[in-house]
């Protein structure tokens, strides 16, 4: 299955494209860069170099939209509520089924149901604080 992803590196670089081989158990995966010439080879991405992988609905998103950091009181969330503060100061809020201390990363579903991010894989080493809420 091909997944549209926005790959954010810990150093600030961003790569947008499609991946079919990401799995948290592997230390690398490949991204076919969005808009690259057809004959281009996929980029080999080392997971340890990342901040997060955002699995997105589309590549354009809505730059004007400010993502909500609260949950809808009328829709109980599925999973444990979690707040993540990255080393660069960015904060994201969502739910998780897989966070455990000591693991290299975990999946998070954003609290905002209108987010362009369907889910994201957070690289634990790129975080400053992780709190269940």
Q: Chain-wide mean pLDDT for the chain? A: 94
**For a pLDDT cut of 90, what percent of the chain falls above it?**
82
Q: How far apart are CA 129 and CA 16, in angstroms?
A: 26
The alpha-carbon radius of gyration of the chain (Å, integer) is 15
**For a pLDDT cut of 70, what percent of the chain falls above it?**
100
Asked if the model's pLDDT at residue 9 lies above 90, the reply is: yes
Residue 65: per-residue pLDDT: 79
Of 71, 53, 88, 51, the C-alpha closest to 133 is 71
Output DSSP code: residue 37. -
Classify burial at 19, counting beta carbons within 10 Å of its beta carbon; exposed 0-12, middle 13-18, buried 19 or more.
buried
Residue 39: per-residue pLDDT: 92
Residue 130: per-residue pLDDT: 98
Locate 89 and state its tokens. Answer: 């100061």
If you count them, how many residues does the chain have?
Answer: 133
Q: How far apart are CA 102 and CA 28, in angstroms?
A: 19
What is the domain partition of the chain in residue ranges?
Answer: 3-132
Is the CB of residue 44 less than 8 Å from the CB of residue 57?
no
Q: Label residue 63 by pLDDT band (50, 70, 90).
A: confident
Residue 118: per-residue pLDDT: 96
pTM: 0.93
Q: How far apart are CA 10 and CA 58, in angstroms?
A: 22
Asked if the model's pLDDT at residue 116 lies above 90, the reply is: yes
pLDDT, tens digit, 9 for 90 and up, residues 65-110: 788 888 888 888 889 999 999 999 999 999 999 899 999 999 999 9
Beta bridge partners of 4: 18
């Amino acid at each position: 299955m091909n997944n549209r992803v926005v790959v954010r590196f810990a150093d600030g670089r961003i790569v947008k494209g499609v991946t079919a081989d990401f799995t948290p158990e592997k230390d690398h995966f490949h991204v076919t860069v969005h808009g690259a010439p057809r004959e281009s080879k996929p980029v080999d991405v080392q997971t340890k170099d990342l901040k997060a992988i955002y699995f997105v609905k589309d590549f354009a998103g809505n730059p004007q939209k400010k993502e909500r950091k609260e949950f809808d009181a009328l829709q109980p969330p599925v999973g444990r509520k979690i707040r993540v503060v990255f080393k660069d100061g960015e904060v994201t809020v969502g739910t998780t089924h897989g966070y455990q201390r000591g693991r290299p990363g975990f999946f998070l579903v954003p609290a905002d149901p209108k987010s362009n991010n369907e889910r994201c894989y957070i690289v634990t080493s790129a975080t400053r604080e992780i709190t269940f809420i």
